[in-house]
Amino acid sequence: MATLTLRNIKKAYGAAEVIKGIDLDIEDREFVVFVGPSGCGKSTLLRMIAGLEPITSGDLSIDGKRVNEVGPADRGLAMVFQSYALYPHMTVAQNMGFALRLAKVPKAERDAKVAEAARILQLGPYLERRPKDLSGGQRQRVAIGRAIVRAPKVFLFDEPLSNLDAALRGQTRIEIAKLHEELAVTMIYVTHDQIEAMTLADKIVVLQAGRIEQVGSPLELYHHPANIFVAGFIGSPRMNMLPVAVDGVSAAGVSVRLPSGVALTIPCSGAGLSAGSALTLGIRPEALRPDENGPIAGTVKLVERLGGLTLLHVETEGIEDMIVQLEGLSLVDLHQQVRFSADGAALHLFDQAGQALPALARHSLVA
Amino acid sequence: MSASLTGPAPGHDAKAAPAARPVARSLLVMPSVLVLLAWMIVPLAMTLWFSVRQYNLLDPSIHGFAGIDNYTYLVTDPDFWASLENTLILLVAVLVITVCLGTLLAVLFNQPFPGRNVARVLAISPFFVMPTVAALIWKNLLMHPIYGVLGVVAHAFGVPPVDWFAHYPLFSVIAIVSWEWLPFALLILLTAVQSLDTDQLEAARMDGAGSIAQFFFITLPHLSRAISVVIMIETIFLLSVFAEIFVTTAGGPGNATTNLAFLIYSRALLQFDVGGASAGGMVAILLANIVAFFLVRTVARRLET
């Protein structure tokens, strides 16, 4: 049982403020992922929750109790480090049992807990080995095991998969998801990999420059990004952004004119917009379909065939490199003229401040 | 002909090269190997030779084969056993002091505090003072009962000053040598402390380790390699401490600060008994090799892991 509450949390190094006031509620047994570009403060925020960095101002509460001044060991948390931070001179069993040894837990009980953690993580055969004799994936599991043994209320992960190769990363991702289900604890996970964020999270927190840009479920962030930054950050390949001008506002949504002169109607609320004002239109690469009568025309500049998917880089008016993602093998040739259409519900409009215009209808999968 | 101009034929090259090269290689290496071998073998052989001869500089007319007489005189001389004891006490005491204090100082100097870089330089600088000068400074400026700082301090408190070299001679020598070697231990151990992964310390903090537990469970094991390197290097040099003793106590009072190196010196150049000194030299070689054998083996094993 653990809920976390962050209220106006700030972190400053001298005059430089790196975390500029974070408000966040984390429910019990929730899997929360912090994502953001490098230097956005996501690791710093995690280390402040862990107690490794002092909090400059604001309140951090665990289960309703303010813990700003509580030491890292007494907050009931466990952390898995990016570098794993295993103790090189201890065996796997000693590494996992270190916290219990410091807490003066009797040896028999300690051994039982280590054995249980080793069973969950399939580390049984390696208990007497040193970290240097283990592979990267095994070290990763020992680091997780060290956290499990302490039976923490909250697990913290600081980019735990970034030192693994792609295949192992996918596998460990699934193991962490299983672990979350099996242990039923709150987990906070920092990553810059949006696939990890999308697949693992109950709730994603998108951070940029020390501020929260948006909090929501993975699909909410994908279908209803709050602003241009989130729209560009979530989804791969990136969302295409086109400058457009408002034609008029009606009950069906906002009519805009593309740079090529073609008009489109997007089902967004256009309250307060006047004709002629400039907006940004966001189209996801996977929302575009080839259509002989489609409104968007362009020339194919580059074709990337990935087998199951084909990525087209299209030059069209207003955007030099519009990416189109097509299912299966497309036979489109280089320099060919193509036309596309897009489902209005999959289009996003952003005002000049970068904020999204609210969609008239929520996506069916997002409550 | 054209082939030999453009280079040897491939088949010929592959066969001849491995056979020809080692010979050429050893010929080229030979001069330096010979010089190094002579450098080591000649003094060793001469010491061994002199140690079984009657050879006194005061009376060249007494000469001839002495057999094991030089060795018999040596081991029946109480000075010899006292010097062995002093050598080992000096070695162990200085090692304990420099390694323990060095480790603590290394951890201390790794903490951020204002003026840390200046403090580090000051702490390391005694190592650059040559042993004779260091010993003279300690003898005349610090430990002298009348002119020394310690004596002045004792006077200020109304306590009779201590004549260090008369009453605690071996302790005084240990203090001087420790002062000289502490910076070396500090230097090596400080670089080792700096290479400690801070993630490990943070993980230990998360696991509930306080600063003392962090020191014993994380920092000290991390330093074990560096500590063994310090012990090995210091041992080699501490077995042959000479200048500090020569300048301060000249081995006295009595034989209180005579170590093996000083005993050999006094046999050869104060008593002019080259034969007896050579026998002492052979014992020194034996001792150094015994120590080196065990030490190198344990250190090498530790460096492997």
Query: Helix (H) and strand (E) counts for chain A?
Result: 8, 20
What is the Rg, in whole angstroms, of the alpha carbon atoms belonging to chain A? Answer: 24
Interval A333-366: pLDDT, tens: 888 888 988 887 788 999 888 888 888 877 777 7
Mean pLDDT, residues A170-191: 89
Interval B56-74: pLDDT, tens: 888 878 778 878 888 888 8
CATH architecture of B69-304: Orthogonal Bundle (1.10)
Interval B273-292: pLDDT, tens: 888 888 888 888 888 888 87
Chain-centroid distance, C-alpha B125: 18
SS3 A41: coil
Quote the CA–CA distance of A134 and A139 in Å, as a whole number. 6
By CA distance, what is A130's nearest residue in B? B305
Torsion of CA A140, A144, A145, A148, to 10 degrees: 180
Residues of B in contact with A99 (CB under 8 A): 206-208
In this predicted structure, what is the pLDDT of residue B4?
42
Instruction: Give A78→chain B minimum CA distance, Å.
Output: 7
Cα distance between the two ends of chain B? 57
In this predicted structure, what is the pLDDT of residue B8?
45
- Among the partner-chain residues A52, A86, A88, the one whose CB lies closest to the CB of B202 is A52
Quote the CA–CA distance of B85 and B246 in Å, as a whole number. 18
Interval A29-80: pLDDT, tens: 999 999 988 888 888 999 999 989 899 998 999 988 898 888 888 888 899 9
Q: How many CB atoms lie within 10 A of CB B201?
A: 19
Interval B66-100: pLDDT, tens: 788 888 888 888 888 889 899 999 999 999 999 99
What mean pLDDT value characterizes chain A?
88
**A73/B205 touch (CB, cutoff 8 Å), yes or no:** yes
- Among the partner-chain residues B199, B213, B221, the one whose CB lies closest to the CB of A85 is B199
Q: Are A322 and A240 in contact (CB under 8 A)?
A: yes
**A72/B205 touch (CB, cutoff 8 Å), yes or no:** yes
In this predicted structure, what is the pLDDT of residue B304?
65
Share of chain A above pLDDT 70, in %: 99
Instruction: Give B185→chain A minimum CA distance, Å.
Output: 22
**B207/A52 touch (CB, cutoff 8 Å), yes or no:** no
Tokens for B172? 């005084």
Amino acid at B267: R
In this predicted structure, what is the pLDDT of residue B249?
86
Residues forming a β-bridge with A205: A34, A215
**A87/B206 touch (CB, cutoff 8 Å), yes or no:** no
User: Any idea what the Cα angle at residue A167 is, between residues A166 and A173, rounded to 5°?
Assistant: 85
Task: Say if B195 is an interface residue toward chain A (CB within 8 Å).
Answer: no
Residues of B in contact with A77 (CB under 8 A): 206
Q: What is the DSSP letter of A358?
A: P
Q: Does B14 score more than 50 pLDDT? A: no
Cis peptide before B253 (omega within 30 of 0): yes
Quote the CA–CA distance of A58 and B6 in Å, as a whole number. 80
Quote the CA–CA distance of A82 and A50 in Å, as a whole number. 14
0.80 exceeded by the pTM?
no
Sign of torsion over alpha carbons B128, B130, B136, B138 = positive
Tokens for B31? 């001069």
Chain-centroid distance, C-alpha B135: 16
Is the ipTM above a cut-off of 0.90?
Answer: no
Residues of A in contact with B222 (CB under 8 A): 88-89
Q: Which of A82, B231, A143, B95 is nearest to B223 (CA)?
A: B231
In this predicted structure, what is the pLDDT of residue B18?
55
Quote the CA–CA distance of A24 and A5 in Å, as a whole number. 6
Residues of B in contact with A150 (CB under 8 A): 207
By CA distance, what is B204's nearest residue in A? A99
Q: Does B7 score more than 50 pLDDT? A: no
Spans of all domains in chain B: 2-51, 69-304
Sign of torsion over alpha carbons A151, A157, A158, A163 = positive
Q: Are B184 and B126 in contact (CB under 8 A)?
A: no
Task: Say if B208 is an interface residue toward chain A (CB within 8 Å).
Answer: yes
Domains, chain A, ranges and CATH? 4-232 (3.40.50.300), 237-285+296-350 (2.40.50.100)
